[in-house]
Structure 1
Amino acid sequence: MGDGAINYMLGIQRSIPIPRIGIDKLINYIITVGENPGINCSTLRSKGLDIGKGRGDITRFFARIGIVRVGEDCSVALTEVGQGIYRALIRDVYLGKSLLHLVLYSELPHYRLLMDLVAMEGEVGVDDLFKKVNERVRELSPSAWINEVAFKALLGLGKDLGVINVSNGRVSLRHAAAVSECLRSASVELDGQEIVRLGDLESCLRGVVGAFDSGRFMDMVRDCVEPIVAPGTNPRASYLKILNRECVLRALLSTLLSNI
């Protein structure tokens, strides 16, 4: 089992609690912290932007996925990733949502599993999807599972971010909004190894978010992949053997954020 598979399995075992909050409140939270670096947890709660005890459910959630950092005095500021999402939301809410989706896809194994299953199924019933998600979770870790509350929270996030459609008890993927789908659709599996064609990935991402610096991406992803380039071919036709998918996702996010 490779490092990526081990990390994914461990992530499944260590679930991150997801607050049952609408996307508008999550976006307002990011914008408020972006406009007020160092704002206190209690102030966020008084503004109606957080719930729960202590630091607050949303603050804890965003801290766990790397969007905010929290000081000992409960002051909250955006991380570099959080600042990139904040700039994107100010410029274009659609782009900001796409990048927030990619962060969730990178940092929440259950969310990634759910989105990958929807992509593979094409369209699937909500109840059937719930069963399939837990079947896959048990394959990765027999003692782990996703309860119905967490499943609905994940489904709600995907719907609110414009990544999936949920209608008449059926779930389907909205490809135009899913940055992560570019990586999946540009990949093939060969002898159990995920291979990505760089040109296909670049074309898909430009269609979703506009500019994409493939040179910067290659610089950032060099420790995550093993390039496969045939002599005399165009570099854009090169293939990448993925050694660590989480590393690739974070490099992809950093590359996209660098253009904002």
Structure 2
Amino acid sequence: MVITLQRSVTFPPIRLRRIDEYIHYVAKNAPTLEELRERGLEIGRGRGDITRLLERIQVVEVNNNRVSLTSAGRQLVSLREALSLSVYHALFFQRLFHYKLLVGTLAELREGDFENLHGAVNERLSRISPTAWLNKVAFKTLLQIAEDVGAIEKRNGIYYYRGDPVEKAVSEYYEKHGVKIGSNYYVAVDKVLVEECAKEEKPHNLYKVDTGCTVTKIYNLFVI
């Protein structure tokens, strides 16, 4: 089963955990397409729904029937270790237009039930393409992913925007691995997430990190 967002865009009806397991396995094994199916990591016919999706957003590539990570995929895996599932928010926000539209709509409205949000997203979508329509099954899948990465939460049937999960994860990471003095975090060199966003503070051998710069750079990694 494949969810159709637009005529040329598909999205598999699957939880983020399954996508994460797929990417983790590919990173370690560079498996064949058949091996992914045997491991229960792929669904759908032919090449497979997850493989097609991740090829489309340039996270994996297939050569001689073997699946491997692209440069963006390797960066995703590296950041996944530090920032957990929140890094997928940056990936999907930059590379899946419908996900970005959903999150942006809820960020603007702050809250809403399923029907109201679905209508609001499709109203915005119609301004871009009058014939485009996001069906309810696809919309539910994207909502679940946004919830899994921590961008939104659902309480009593109402969805609420929680803020930028990447920004939150970066702050929590540096709070765990560094020292906060005033509004700044200081960490050892091996705990710096983005080199361009850190400045060495001598003679303490610590690096002062700019969290805002770090968040921006992480998003920029996934711009196509």
Report the TM-score, using the length of structure 2 for normalisation: 0.73
Distance 1:113 1:208 in 2: 26
CA distance in 2, matches of 1:209, 1:139: 39
User: Hey, what's the Cα distance between the residues in 2 that align with 1:20 and 1:100?
Assistant: 16
Does residue 152 (structure 1) correspond to residue 144 (structure 2)? The answer is no
**Residue type of the alignment partner of 1:84:** Q
Query: Is 1:143 equivalent to 2:131 in the alignment?
Result: yes
Q: 1:154: how far off?
A: 0.7
CA distance in 1, matches of 2:154, 2:8: 24
Alpha-carbon separation, structure 2, partners of 1:174 and 1:15: 31
Question: In the superposition, relative to structure 1, how do residues 15 and 127 fare at CA in structure 2: closer, same or farther (>3 Å)?
Answer: farther
Offset, 1:209: 5.5
The code of the aligned residue for 1:78 comes to L
- Describe the SS at the equivalent of 1:17: strand
Secondary structure of the 2:93 match is helix
**Uncovered stretches (5+) of structure 2, i.e. residues with no partner:** 175-191, 198-209, 211-215
Q: Name the CA distance, whole Å, in 2 between partners of 1:83 and 1:171.
A: 32
Which residue is equivalent to 2:200?
Answer: none
2: CA distance between counterparts of 1:74 and 1:144? 34
Which of 66, 72, 76 in structure 2 is aligned with 1:81? 72
**Map of 2:189 onto structure 1:** none
Partner of 2:9: 16
| Equivalent in the alignment of 1:52 | 44
Q: Percent identity?
A: 34
* Aligned residue number for residue 34 of structure 1: 27
| Change over 3 Å in CA distance of 1:44–1:213 after alignment to 2 | closer
TM-score (norm 1): 0.64
Residues 1:69 and 2:33 aligned together? no
Amino acid at match of 2:43: I
Alpha-carbon contact 2:86-2:169 (below 8 Å) kept:
no
Cα distance change of structure 1 residues 251 and 26 upon mapping to structure 2, 3 Å threshold: closer
Distance 1:85 1:152 in 2: 24
Aligned residues: 186
Q: Which of 83, 87, 94 lines up with 1:106 in the alignment?
A: 94
The 3 A distance-change label for structure 1 pair 15 and 159 is farther
Amino acid of the residue matched to residue 23 of structure 2? I
**Higher strand share goes to which structure?**
2
Q: CA deviation at 1:112?
A: 0.3
Match of 1:207 among 171, 179, 185: 171
Distance 1:215 1:35, change over 3 A: closer
